Structure 1
Amino acid sequence: MRIALLTLPVEEAGTVHVLGRALAEWQCEMALALGCERILLVAPALTEPALDIQHQAEAGGAKFQIVPHAHRLLGQLKTDDELLILDPALLVRGEAAREMLDTPRRIFVMPETAGESGFERLDRETLWAGAAWLPGAMVERLADLDSDAEPASALLRIAAGLGVRRQHLRDEALDKADWAALHSQQDGLEVGREITTDRLGAAPVSPGDWLAHRLVRQWLVNGQAAGRVGRIAAGAGAVFLGGAIVLLALGYALYSVPLAGLSWFAGTILAHSGKVSGWKRGAMLIVPLASLGALAAALAVILARSWTWTIAGFVIAMVVAWAIEAVRGAGSSGSWLRDGVFLAVVIGVTGALDIAFLGATGLIALAIGAIWTARLRTRS
């Protein structure tokens, strides 16, 4: 059985957070990804941070146990168990780091090119990388030490003295902040910026998407949890979308447009924060796509005031068809046609001025222009 030993800082104020999550939460996530069936947490009591780890571990299908002192580990592991120990200052994340860690009976050490890593030294030439897999029977040697010894550090020293094999980290993990020593909240903020920039990618071109991207980036680098931002945005998007649908059903199409635009905007915030959280893409796009559908329906209702439903439906079909073609093939040029804020402004303003036909014609013209531009770019 694989078992992980994590450690919480003695003082809660000393806990480093990255994107709103404590380092121990990132470590617990990695331990679960490595198949650990038990999570042992070195902490004096079941505090609120410890409860967060317990909920995370149990949600991932692992058993959880508090370890108040080193001697509590005695008799807890079997000879054939594998124990993962992680330094409390270690941030470890990503597939590359998981692949490197998925090697039993190893003490991971920093590559010679890494310089000072921030973890303790095993000897004059070797810096620990903050992680090790040890045989389960090794914990019984803690009986020779005082009960107030720090378990992870003590086990590391025991393993190093017994000659457990050492393995250097590959440099690519260090380049992406997949593996880093974080000793202060400033370190956490800096790495959070790197992770956010990497996962969010370049800023979009269209106005609503650009603003949602910028807001998410600002919130996350300031320490907000991506999951919390996403959940709030999902709730807001659902409320706005429901309001838009109700107004549509009651015949107030023009008044539904701003609500549909706001729903799309909230859904896009959800999509951007979900990139950082690693949520499934399909689930993140439900609200934005439904909001675009509501905007198309609102435009159809507005057009039907002056024309028959047949003509209005035909115009909407043309708008949607050209927009889909533009979005699929025109990159940033076509992105304006999937921007709910831009569409809401166009539909709302032209609808209020009773020139919705010109708004629909403008959208088709924009789509044709985007497609034509993309094809010219492809030929060149």
Structure 2
Amino acid sequence: MRVAVLSLIEAGGSDPAALRGYLPIGGRSVLRHQIGLALSFNAKRIVIMAEAISGELVALQHVAEAGGAQFHVVPTVRALVPLIAPEDDVIVLGDGLLAMPDALHDLVDAGPVVLTLPIEPALPLGFERIDINHASAGVMRFAGRIAAGLADLPPEWNPQSALLRLAIQGRVAQRNVPAAMLDDGRWGIVRNEQDAQIAERRWLRLHTRLSGDGAFTLGERLAALMVNRFGPALLHAGTRPALLGLAAGALGLLGGGVGWLGQLAVGFVLLGLAWLVEQVASLLGQVERASLLASGLARRSVALFHLLIDAGFVTLAGWGSGLPAHPSMPPGAPFFVPLTLVMCMRLIPLALPGRRWSRWLSDRFMIGAALAAIHLFLPWDATLGIGVILLLGIGVFSLQFGHKRSDPEGPPTASPNPRLTTRQ
């Protein structure tokens, strides 16, 4: 059985009643983050070293049991001994430790280990000294037989310090955590409220940082900026991604209603803002899943919401058409060009997934702003028709000639399909 040992003992600042494990990061306690880590290691028993049971511990018990783990709260090191069998695989997380899940798994999955840090940067940050050159990084993994030595120790010993000494005496291998993880926030100890605020900002940036390939659009960058700026307040207020999704839906309905009243430019802007708010909701949901704070299931309604935004664009664009009503005109003719335009914007990113510029066609915030500007300043039907021709032309040109540039070593006129027969 895999057993996770966590602690809720150290004070979180000058107030002895405040504990490190209860300090909030992203609206959830550090201890809640650690339980998510323990469950990600498939721990079947989670033991919390704490002096008393609180209401939050009861709530965390429900989280652990929903994840398939037994939950225990024990006050002393001796009480821990009966909960760890010699054949168990034990993982220990330090009091107040906040680590990125992927970094922790990379360092611990290989087998028994005591993770260490260089003494110079680690000691001022609250990590415990091991020897003259190394400090404990706050994470250990060892066989359960090592924990049997706790029975010989006085009950007042700090459980994690005791387990660290026993693991070192048991010659568990030591492995260094890259010091760069301390600098960028992937690894650290949250000791007080000030540390929690700094760690929270870094935590959000790590989960929302954009890659340097230039593929991210203006709307996606704005969504990431909004999460970094307002995410802590939203999460601490208990605002879950689903609630923001409802707000996005309300904005979309408002945009449709305003467009029906004749304010098409405002309607396009509101539909674009609805997409942006939904991007913020999706990003917050992604942060929670990556931090092991929520289920790993993505919200399946996102694709449907994007489809409804496009339907709103087509509807408003059809209402703005200046095509004359004539018996020779087929029903729905004003909606034909807008529908073709939206379908082109959906098709090109699928047909040309490797092109950075094609990603911008998926940014409905920019599309909404562009449609609003076109409606205000340019001939509506003619501009939309030109847009359809341009998108189709660019797509055909890229598909026709793009494969030749992507394979410069091959013959320029070679067929993309190999010959299936040979001639004698």
- Shorter-chain TM range is 0.7 to 0.9
What is aligned with 1:120?
128
In structure 1, what residue type is equivalent to 2:363? D
Residue 269 of structure 1 and its aligned partner are, at CA, apart by 0.9
Paired with 2:257 and 2:45, the residues of 1 have a C-alpha distance of 49
- Is 1:107 equivalent to 2:103 in the alignment? no
State the partner residue of 1:12. Answer: 18
SS in 2 for 1:5: strand
2:38 corresponds in structure 1 to: 31
Q: 1:7-37, CA deviations, whole angstroms, 9 ceiling, x for partnerless residues?
A: 1245336444433332222221221111101
* Greater Cα radius of gyration, structure 1 or 2: 2
| CA positional deviation for 1:241 | 4.5
**For residues 1-380 of structure 1, what are the structure 2 equivalents within 5 Å?**
1-8=1-8, 9-10=10-11, 11-12=17-18, 14=20, 15-110=22-117, 116=123, 118-161=126-169, 163-171=170-178, 174=181, 177-200=185-208, 201=210, 208-220=219-231, 224=235, 228-241=239-252, 257=268, 260-277=271-288, 278=290, 283=300, 285-286=302-303, 287-303=305-321, 306=324, 308-324=330-346, 327=349, 329=352, 333-334=357-358, 337-347=361-371, 356-358=380-382, 360-361=384-385, 363-364=387-388, 367=391
CA gap of 1:183–1:363, structure 2 versus 1, over 3 A, is farther
Consecutive unaligned residues in structure 2, runs of 5 or more: 12-16, 291-295, 407-424
Over 3 Å counting, the alpha-carbon distance change for 1:50 and 1:131 in structure 2 is: same
Give 1:364 deviation, angstroms: 3.7
CA offset digits 1:185-229 (Å, max 9, x no partner)? 444444444443343216987554443232112123668469945
8 Å contact from structure 2 (residues 337, 388) kept in 1: no
Q: Aligned partners of 1:156, 1:177: CA distance in 2, in Å?
A: 24
Alignment gaps of 5+ in structure 1:
none
Deviates more, 1:267-276 or 1:183-192: 183-192
Residues 24-66 of structure 1 deviation map (CA, whole Å, 9 limit, x = unaligned)? 2222122111110111112233324424432332232212122
More divergent stretch after superposition (120-129 vs 292-301): 292-301
Q: Is the deviation greater in 78-87 or in 197-206?
A: 197-206
Identity of paired residues, percent?
Answer: 22
User: 1:58 is paired with a residue of what secondary structure?
Assistant: helix
Looking at structure 2, the residues matched to 269 and 157 of structure 1 have their Cα atoms a distance apart, in angstroms, of 46
Decide whether the 8 Å contact of 1:346 with 1:359 is kept in 2: no
Q: How much does 1:2 deviate?
A: 0.7
How many residues are matched? 378
Q: Which has the higher helix share?
A: 1
Q: Would the alpha carbon gap of residues 81 and 227 (structure 1) be closer, same or farther in structure 2, given more than 3 Å must change?
A: farther
CA contact (8 A) 2:119 2:132 kept: no
Tell me the alpha carbon deviations over residues 273-302 of structure 1, each in whole angstroms, 9 at most, x when there is no partner: 234333666747423343223322332354
Taking the aligned partners of 1:262 and 1:269, their CA distance within structure 2 comes to 11
Does the C-alpha gap of structure 1 residues 293 and 198 become closer, same or farther in structure 2, counting only changes over 3 Å?
A: farther
Matched-pair contact (CA < 8 Å) for 2:310–2:342: no
Q: TM-score, normalised by structure 2?
A: 0.71
Report the CA distance shift for 1:243/1:223 in structure 2 as closer, same or farther (over 3 A): closer
| Pair 284,7 (structure 1): closer, same or farther in 2 beyond 3 Å | farther
